[in-house]
Amino acid sequence: MTIGVDDVDRQVAVLKQRDLDVEAVQDTPGGFRIAAISDPAGNIVTLAQDLGLNV
């Protein structure tokens, strides 16, 4: 599942404060800034911020 957010870095900081293990934030060639978190069952949630680039 992908969830759109306004600020990936801020959301990652909140999750880390709650002791959740979040992957490193990455910028994609398509103009998104993303970070993913998974649960023990292997479900993955990706946080995505649209950087507004017309790539």
Q: Does the structure show a pLDDT above 90 at 54?
A: no
What would the pLDDT profile of 1-40 be if each residue is shown by its tens digit? 999 999 999 999 999 999 999 999 999 998 999 999 998 8
The three-state DSSP-derived secondary structure of the chain is CEEECCCHHHHHHHHHHCCCCCCCCEECCCCEEEEEEECCCCCEEEEEEECCCCC
Q: How many CA atoms, within 13 angstroms, populate the side-chain half-sphere of residue 30?
A: 5
Per-residue pLDDT at 53: 77
What would the pLDDT profile of 32-50 be if each residue is shown by its tens digit? 999 999 988 999 999 999 9
Domains parsed from the chain with CATH numbers: 2-50 (3.10.180.10)
Distance CA 14, CA 43 (A): 20
Q: Does the structure show a pLDDT above 60 at 55?
A: no
